Structure 1
Amino acid sequence: MTQMTRRALLGSSLAAGTTLALPTVVSPLTAHAGAPAILKPLPPEWFTDFGSNAEMRWDSVDPSARLTPQQRLFVRNHTVTPQLTRESYALEVYGDGLASPRGVTEPIRLTFAELRAMPVTRLESTHECTGNGRSFFTRQQGQQVSGTGWSLGAVGTVRWEGVRLADVLRRVGVSPEAVSVQATGLDPSYVTGGTDFGRVRRPFPIDKALDDALLAWGMNGEDLLPDHGFPLRLVLPGWVGIASIKWLGSLEVARRQLTSPWNTTWYTMTGGDYPPGSPPLSVNPVRSAWELPWGAELRAGRPVRLTGRSWSGAGAVRRVEVSVDGGRRWRPAVLDRHKRGLGWRQWSVTTVLPRGAHTLQARATDIHRRTQPLETPYNSNGYFFDAVVRHPVVVR
């Protein structure tokens, strides 16, 4: 079966036993790689194809480029990418947490033009799927987990453009008793195992909403692509990717803690030593990746410059150590000058390696002294793999 045919089948069903209610679209989906679950092209030299999801290949990353182009950013879809228009778009805001409470049938509606006329904010952050690195639970730790088998490419650093959610909430008026905000997307309802879980939605604290949350319409100086949330998406910097709801349709502001399957059934730690009812995941851990193929071939007896990137959801990376001999000896990597913010830190190391098989490792420490461990505690969904990855190379 060809890749395009396989993707077409996956796009229509996504999984055995799963049905989808397809959204109304403004034009027919074109028959290129990625359709219909993902609209942008997915050339195999840039992406690993997971059907309804697509992972950035680290060996395709340009070491001289700090930001990840939209065309190369990973895609995580629960259903399919809807095609929406700015002209018909409006954000609905309701709930008993508003200064003047509104029900779901009588929301405050803000058009795209009204949002676009508000003060503009730009911020840089590393955007990452909660399951990034999941495959290493099995490959490196011998543990079976469920979910998409991401390596480390479900991540990218981008510069968002939009309006601060705090400014929007001040405009509509929020009660001092508000504690929770729930964002809901406009993609089709998620149906699996015969159960319709409704549209993708997830709550977050009002404190995060009033801190650095953004309603974004742009990325890296361009309009958002449909696969990344056009015309408007939520961005919660440093938090798990699921929290940054794409194709944002509504915000419920409440005086109680809101819940959804995406912060109770999924995106919490389960199995292993984690007790039932563990809290929803929020801030991403510390991770590192080398910018070269898995099992890359290097030249022996001459200096070679190796590059990589490290990032943390809690703050800037302040130190990266690398080992080229399987962890026996460690030395500091040379870091770039970006010492602040939530974007990743680029680094490099120059070394001479003898012939044979070698294991490269990199471990980062952020400004809060969070350091990558040598092993990640097991959880059944394979979330938050933050251990030092053992990257094999062959020197000839």
Structure 2
Amino acid sequence: MTDTRLRRRSLLGLPVAAAAGSVLSQVAPLAARAVAGGPAILKPLPPEWFIDHGTNAEMRWDSVDPKDYRTPQSRLFVRNHTRTPIIDEADYRLRIFGDGLSDPAGVTLAVADLRRRFTNVEVTATHECTGNGRSFFTTQQGQSVSGTAWTLGAVGTVTWQGVRLGDVLRSAGLRSDAVSVLSTGLDPSYVDKGVDYGPVRRPFPVAKALDDAVLAWGVNGERLLPDHGFPLRLVLPGWVGIASTKWLGSLEVSRSELTSPWNTKWYNVDGALTVNPVRSAWELPRDARLPAARKIVLTGRSWSGTAPIARVDVSTDGGETWSAARVHPAPQPSRGRGWSQWTYVWRDAAPGPHTLLARATDGLGRTQPDVAAFNPSGYFFDAVVRHPVTVV
């Protein structure tokens, strides 16, 4: 597998059936009240903005305004395992518990408690589904994979408003020997092939919690929409989207490494997937028809889960020749977690079909490969995508 060091993260190994039962007993009553049927996604999905995948919705890159660095919440992709719950913030409480705390009984907190008791922060980061680009395993590499056939629109860059998870855990009595945190959502139980796996839940290391994790109640200065986790979601910047649990119901803090189906059965390739790879996208529809001109200004974006984008090279002839694009600095601080916008001026393009390619390299030297490492679930398609256009 390519990029093995970054792709093979610790596979958390101990069963937590008893702990999971404790979590579910806490969240099930609220989850039952939260869901009352209705569509899988609640916000409008106009076809000029989104590709509708049923329980999921993908942003159309040709709908992106090159002048806007951040993705409006109304335009942000949606990834649901079941459907969006409707939760009353007045009833909502976050439970934090486990043997990784000085008092295992832990604490319960309302969103108002978080706002009042802890320093409020803003974090700008690229948020992305692990399966973004999955369809290209089939259309570009001829390989059969399972899951939603995303192109490259299961991604967006936003500014989260909330509090540092590390501050909250320390206040709750975090022990020095705690190693793992299991986040559990309040979404309806996920049933696959007759097996009820319960709500989405996924563990992550305490080290990540203390580094840059956020408990977010807002995005881009707005209250979270239900589809994006209202009233509170976990955000793990730079990591796979599944790690940023929506409708956060509880956090179990443990002195043992925890597991769930969402890091062992799914979202796992030779180990639980964590840090997102490097990717690029053109702000154009596929098979776009471009009017012939002495110069055609093309725009796009590139991003990485670990470092700022250092360079973007583009090709307008299917990879025969390459030129450097102009990478623009991000308009606000993002610790290198937000994407980079770039521009390329295509001069004297000949009429007819062409294949555009964009290949990014991040500050750690990770570069998009020509071929993505195959896995049956279609995760982490990071290869350079072939983007057909016609000059007319």
- Give the alignment's TM-score, normalised by structure 1: 0.88
Instruction: State the identity %.
Output: 64
Give the secondary-structure state (helix, strand or coil) at the position aligned to 2:356.
Answer: strand
Answer yes or no: is 1:367 the counterpart of 2:367. no
8 Å contact from structure 2 (residues 180, 206) kept in 1: yes
8 Å contact from structure 1 (residues 310, 346) kept in 2: yes
Answer yes or no: is 1:354 the counterpart of 2:350. yes
Structure with greater contact order relative to length (CA < 8 Å, sep ≥ 6): 2
The one-letter amino acid of 1:344's match is W
* Aligned equivalent of 2:321: 329
Give the secondary-structure state (helix, strand or coil) at the position aligned to 1:262.
Answer: helix
Cα deviations by residue, 1:139-160 (Å, 9 ceiling, x for unpaired): 1000000000000000000000
For 1:1-396, list aligned pairs within 5 A.
23-24=31-32, 36-102=39-105, 107-117=106-116, 118-269=118-269, 278-338=270-330, 340-352=335-347, 353-396=349-392
The one-letter amino acid of 2:174's match is V
* Aligned equivalent of 2:21: none
Cα distance in 2, alignment partners of residues 227 and 332 from structure 1: 38
Alpha-carbon distance, 1:301 to partner:
3.9
Cα distance in 1, alignment partners of residues 33 and 301 from structure 2: 38
Alpha-carbon distance, 1:315 to partner:
1.3
The one-letter amino acid of 2:212's match is D
Alpha-carbon distance, 1:100 to partner:
1.9
Cα distance in 1, alignment partners of residues 262 and 185 from structure 2: 12
8 Å contact from structure 1 (residues 162, 217) kept in 2: yes
Name the structure with the higher helix share: 2
8 Å contact from structure 1 (residues 164, 212) kept in 2: yes
Alpha-carbon distance, 1:384 to partner:
0.2
Alpha-carbon distance, 1:134 to partner:
0.1
Cα deviations by residue, 1:32-51 (Å, 9 ceiling, x for unpaired): xxx51000000000000000
- After TM superposition, the structure 1 stretch with the greater mean CA deviation from structure 2, 213-222 or 330-339, is 330-339
8 Å contact from structure 1 (residues 181, 252) kept in 2: yes
8 Å contact from structure 2 (residues 313, 323) kept in 1: yes
Give the secondary-structure state (helix, strand or coil) at the position aligned to 2:344.
Answer: strand
Cα distance in 2, alignment partners of residues 230 and 197 from structure 1: 22
Give the secondary-structure state (helix, strand or coil) at the position aligned to 1:242.
Answer: helix
8 Å contact from structure 1 (residues 94, 251) kept in 2: yes
Give the secondary-structure state (helix, strand or coil) at the position aligned to 1:347.
Answer: strand
8 Å contact from structure 1 (residues 203, 258) kept in 2: yes
Count how many residue pairs are aligned between Structure 1 and Structure 2.
359
Alpha-carbon distance, 1:24 to partner:
4.3
Cα distance in 2, alignment partners of residues 367 and 59 from structure 1: 27
Alpha-carbon distance, 1:373 to partner:
0.4
Alpha-carbon distance, 1:101 to partner:
2.0
Alpha-carbon distance, 1:125 to partner:
0.3
Give the secondary-structure state (helix, strand or coil) at the position aligned to 1:386.
Answer: coil
Structure 1: gaps of 5 or more residues: 1-20, 30-34, 270-277
* Aligned equivalent of 1:8: none
Alpha-carbon distance, 1:395 to partner:
0.8
The one-letter amino acid of 1:74's match is F
8 Å contact from structure 1 (residues 22, 188) kept in 2: no
Cα deviations by residue, 1:67-108 (Å, 9 ceiling, x for unpaired): 000000000000110111221111001111101222xxxx41
Cα distance in 2, alignment partners of residues 120 and 193 from structure 1: 42
Alpha-carbon distance, 1:341 to partner:
1.6
Compared with structure 1, are the counterparts of its residues 194 and 357 closer, same or farther at alpha carbon in structure 2 (3 Å cutoff)? Answer: same
Alpha-carbon distance, 1:211 to partner:
0.6
8 Å contact from structure 2 (residues 34, 85) kept in 1: no
8 Å contact from structure 1 (residues 324, 359) kept in 2: yes
